[in-house]
Chain A
Amino acid sequence: MEPFTVLDLLDLELTEQNDLDLTCIAGREGLLRAIVTPELNRPGLSLSGFFDNFGSDRVQIFGRGEHSYLEKLQVEGTIATIEQFFTHEIPCCVFTHGLAPTPDFDRIARESGCPILQSPLATNEFVMRLIRALGNVFAEHKTIHGTLIEVFGIGVLILGDSGVGKSEAALELIERGHRLVADDAVEIRRVSGNILLGQGANPALGHHMEIRGLGIINITHLFGVGSIRDNKQIQLICQLEEWDAKKAYDRIGAEERTYEILGVATPYLEIPVKPGRNIPIIIETASMNERLKKMGYYSAREFNQKVMRWLDSENARKAYLRRRGAAEDNGS
């Protein structure tokens, strides 16, 4: 992975409730410093002169408290701790609440080449957003060959060899009102522990599909903005494969199979493809079935319970009839 620099942090395309609203107010030459950890540090202790276990490789957050302390240092004319602070290689300092660094702090930061960023957000809000953003950046990730589409609210990852009909199946699903997330190259990140979040591997080239015979088509322009979305959690994996007459496919579906990506197991179905099998409808049905399962209703299991109940009652009825028949025989 390429190092994630302070410049990359400024360039992150975050909007609305994720927007960090950062501007660089000093130390531009340090913008290529790498951020190596998703953790943050509030530098109160180090500013007061305690440098044991100082998390110098972290983004340093200056809120109102730290800012007032810097102002106190400015009035007193004490700069020793600030100088010591900047002897460490710090990725960047961020002032929240739109606060500005004190003249001494600003000068020493510039001399050490450390970038100073500013955000108008309140500290707690900014910290939450930054942790979320850096968490995504540092999440384990991998690019997979497949198609990700949202079907009835379920994120379905369609896997399969080239030419098996992943894109064609997705195209029909889009036609039926479902939403494309990414085709061909899906970038998957593991966030918040066990959530697999999928998105197009290249945001600049997103939402195009290659259909054999048509070439490359733009889904947003053809089907409208309602037919796409930027990212989606992967909740079901469908593997399309050529029909193999010798292979035993799942006929009942009582068994729950899973497929592991980045160590997270996701419900998994193998769907054999052959002419006459309408794959989009099967995927739609699989998604709805998956929703039922999430609500606690397992079609195959419930069906089997019905079968067993019926067999029980049938046996009881037969036994009753047999006994009655025997009693009548004796009576006559």
Chain B
Amino acid sequence: MTKREVVVRNRAGIHARPAALIVQTAAQFSSHIEFTNEHESINAKSIMGIITLGAGYNSTITISADGEDENEAVERLAALFENRFEEE
């Protein structure tokens, strides 16, 4: 199990477009990947799930992955957050 905490850095938060990017990235890995905020935990391969998290600007999310390619999965997903999903 690999875990990493990330912060949402783009102004608009995780709306439909960043959610789609996350899901597309997560779906490339066979590991089970979850996003957790202070209230709930959701499957990172589900677009509605990620939008439902309601992650706004500056909110913190823990990415956890479990499986063969867990390290690379967390690495790639965290990179999306660091690049602000190529947004403002």
On A, residues with C-beta under 8 Å from B are 1-2, 142-143, 145, 162-163, 183-185, 187, 200-202, 205, 208-210, 216
> Closest CB of chain A to B6's CB: distance in Å?
20
CB-based nearest B residue for A184? B48
- Chain A residues, CB < 8 A from B47: 184, 210, 216
| 8 Å CB contact of B45 from A162, A185, A205, A209 | A162
Asked whether B39 lies within 8 Å of A1 as measured between CB atoms, the reply is yes
Interface of B is mostly: mixed
* Cβ-based interface call for B80 (8 A): no
Complex Cα distance, B52 from A216, in Å, reads: 13
> Which single residue of chain A is at the shortest CB-CB distance from B43?
A145
Task: Among B16, B39, B40, B52, find the residue whose CB has the most chain A CB atoms closer than 10 A.
Answer: B52
Bits for B13-42, please: 1 = Cβ < 8 Å to A, else 0.
Answer: 000100000000001000000000011111
Docked Cα-Cα span, A225 to B16, in Å, equals: 24
Chain A, interface SS category: strand
Which residue among B16, B27, B48 has the maximum number of chain A CB atoms within 10 Å of its CB? Answer: B48
A184 touches B27 (CB 8 A): no
Indicate if B56 sits at the interface (CB-CB under 8 A).
no
Q: How far is the CA of A216 from the CA of B20 in the complex (A)?
A: 11
A200 to B51, CA, bound (A): 12
Interface pairs (7), CB distance under 8 Å? A2-B38, A162-B43, A184-B49, A201-B49, A205-B52, A209-B48, A210-B47
Query: Do B52 and A201 touch (CB < 8 A)?
Result: yes
- Kindly list chain B residues whose C-beta atoms are within 8 Å of the C-beta of A216: 16, 47-48
Q: How far is the CB of A276 from chain B (nearest CB, A)?
A: 25
Cα-based distance from A205 to B42 in the complex (angstroms): 15
Cα distance, A208 to B46, chains bound together (Å): 13
Contacts of B39 in A (CB 8 A): 1-2
Q: Among B40, B41, B46, B48, point to the contact of A205 (Cβ < 8 A).
A: B48
Q: Nearest chain B CB to A244's CB is how many angstroms away?
A: 16
| A205/B51 contact (C-beta < 8 A), A143-B40, A143-B41, A145-B43 known | yes
Known: A184-B52, A185-B49. A201 touches B40 (CB 8 A): yes
A200 CA to B43 CA, complexed, in Å: 15
Docked pose: A183 CA to B46 CA in angstroms: 10
When the two chains form the complex, which single residue of A2, A142, A208 contacts B48, counting CB atoms closer than 8 Å? A208
Most chain A CB within a 10 A radius of its CB, from B42, B45, B49: B49
CB neighbours (8 Å) of B49 from chain A are 145, 184-185, 201
Contacts of A145 in B (CB 8 A): 42-43, 46, 49
Q: A184-B46, A184-B47 are in contact. List 5 more A-B contacts (CB 8 A).
A: A163-B27, A184-B49, A201-B42, A201-B52, A202-B54
Question: Measured between alpha carbons, how far is A153 from B47 in the docked complex, in Å?
Answer: 28
B42 and A202: CB pair below 8 A? no
